[in-house]
Chains A and B, each alone.
Chain A
Amino acid sequence: MTYSYYPGCSLHGSSREYDDSSRGVCAELGIELKELPDWICCGASSGHSLDEVLNIGLPARNLKIAEQAGLDVVVPCAACYNRLKTAEHAMREKESVRNQMRDLIDYDHKGRVQILNMIELIQDQISLDTLRSKLVKPLTGLRVVCYYGCLLVRPVEVTGFDHPEHPRSLDEIMSAIGAEALGWSYKTECCGGSHSLTRTDIVRVLVDGIVDMAKEAGAQAIVTACPLCLGNLEMRQSDGGFPVMYFTELLGVALGMNESRDWLKKHVIDPTPLLGSLGLLP
């Protein structure tokens, strides 16, 4: 199986471990990822905040590259995934937008490639059964809560992924690799997103709410699939010691990949003592 791969800026920067673990896990599961040639930034929050045209234009240009590559595109970053899906949705639903984009990027959007986030890739394209069959080290004893954040599941009509209030997919993956995915109420509460740099005070309040709820649920760590969320949860929590990990990192651990140790070392809050205490480190 071969897919196009759109890492996005964060995965080439502060969220390297997400990039590495996504690529690593895919390779381990026999999936080839081909990074889109000369991809550009999706515009993220700033794009849709400021620019009526570019907020669709930037992701549309990436979709153009993806369509030219001719493969379904995997997008690990929740924000990038959301922007690409938004552009795809807008061009599909509104002829005016489609025409506008044709003028902007000299390309007529065909809607040929599927946009997949990492969870979808594992669950639908690979299947949990395959995952279970390749399990080397089940994460027995690890209690986590899965944090989906906003951008994967909302707006429903755009992403069409899982459930906006009660998503389950990531929990199922965590269960499949032997971890205990606890039920909790803050799966899709917002972490403050792009306010991290400017309204850190707000983000702190929101993050503490999420971390406190995770602890209350009895979790030892939070698992997520969004670099923006992980950044905020790690850097803005008052606790300063509650681990947050990408689900792909834990997949790596469960698949017995030695590289996962390198990924886990890149965290502001080091999760290795927790995993070590449970005998889960490779």
Chain B
Amino acid sequence: MIDESAKSLLATIREKSGQDILACYHCQKCVVGCPVAEFMDVPPNAIHRLIQYGRKDEILKSATIWLCAACETCGTRCPNDIDIARVMDALKQIAVKEGVKGKERDVAVMHGLFMSGIRKRGRMHEVSLIRDLKLRTGGFFKDIRLGIKMFRLGKLSLSAECVKNVKDIKQMFDRAKAIE
């Protein structure tokens, strides 16, 4: 049942996340403590098992990897000291790299826009992020009243801050890609 591709998936995740997935004894303490587990399609501990089974597609397409809020509750409580959020990060990174079209597209898009914003300006600009997100995911009228209220309170600024040496940041992003 466990074939070579399963073994290689396991090795990749262990290496990328630095977490010993095999130490998991499936007590599901992580599941019970997880604030978003009830919205996940695959419980966090089951992700470990599916990695062992080599069910890559099922994992990378799952909502779970994108719904993990990285709150670290599981990692703090895990009796076997597995930082599951790091496993989820590794899986998200693979999903993006391999262009997997899975569930929770909006979350993935949001993260992507967040990063490209930093690449552009060196800093995150909230209004630009929200605008771009709405352009890509729809829901134009969502939170519109909240937005106006925040604008009136002076919490949102229309002009985006930029670091002085934007070129430097772009270069850093390119270098990071090369290193990876």
Contact = CB atoms under 8 A, between A and B. Distances in A.
Interface in B99-124: 104, 106-107, 109-112, 114-115, 117-118, 122-124
Given A51-B180, A61-B172, 7 more contacts: A49-B70, A50-B96, A52-B16, A150-B70, A198-B133, A198-B137, A235-B146
Contacts of A150: 69-73
Interface in A49-64: 49-55, 57-58, 61
A270 to B, nearest CB: 10
Give 7 nearest A-B pairs by CB, closest first: A190-B71, A46-B114, A154-B72, A46-B111, A150-B71, A53-B176, A190-B35
9 contacts: A12-B161, A45-B111, A50-B92, A50-B115, A52-B180, A61-B172, A164-B76, A197-B129, A235-B143
Contact of A154 (B73, B115, B129, B173): B73
A13 B156 CA distance: 6
Interface string B154-168: 111100010111000
A75 to B, nearest CB: 15
Given A13-B125, A52-B93, A190-B73, A40 B110 contact: no
Contact of A199 (B67, B93, B129): B67
B150 A268 contact: yes
Interface string A243-282: 0000000000000000000000111100000000000000
Contact of B133 (A41, A103, A197): A197
Nearest to B106: A198
Contact of A49 (B111, B154, B164): B111
A268 B35 contact: no
Given A103-B175, A197-B110, A268 B154 contact: no
Contacts of B117: 41
Given A14-B156, A46-B115, A40 B93 contact: no
Most chain B CB within a 10 A radius of its CB, from A9, A14, A46, A165: A46
A223 interface: no
B contact residues, range: 35 or more
A105 B172 contact: yes
B153 A267 contact: yes
A49 B129 CA distance: 17
A187 to B, nearest CB: 12
Interface of A: 9-10, 12-16, 38-41, 43-55, 57-58, 61, 100, 103-105, 150, 154-156, 164-165, 188-190, 192-195, 197-200, 202, 206, 235, 265-268
Most chain B CB within a 10 A radius of its CB, from A103, A155, A199, A267: A199
B123 A9 contact: yes
A208 to B, nearest CB: 12
A271 to B, nearest CB: 13
Contacts of A10: 126
A49 B67 CA distance: 11
A159 B173 CA distance: 26
Nearest to B169: A40
A192 B125 contact: no
B150 A14 contact: yes
A266 B151 CA distance: 10
B42 interface: no
B126 to A, nearest CB: 5
Interface string B70-106: 1111011000000100000110110010000000101
Contacts of B83: 155
Contacts of A45: 69-70, 111, 114
A265 B150 CA distance: 11
Contacts of B107: 195, 198-199
A266 B155 CA distance: 7
Given A14-B156, A45-B111, A40 B163 contact: yes
A155 B126 contact: no
A57 B176 contact: yes
Contacts of B179: 53, 100, 103-104
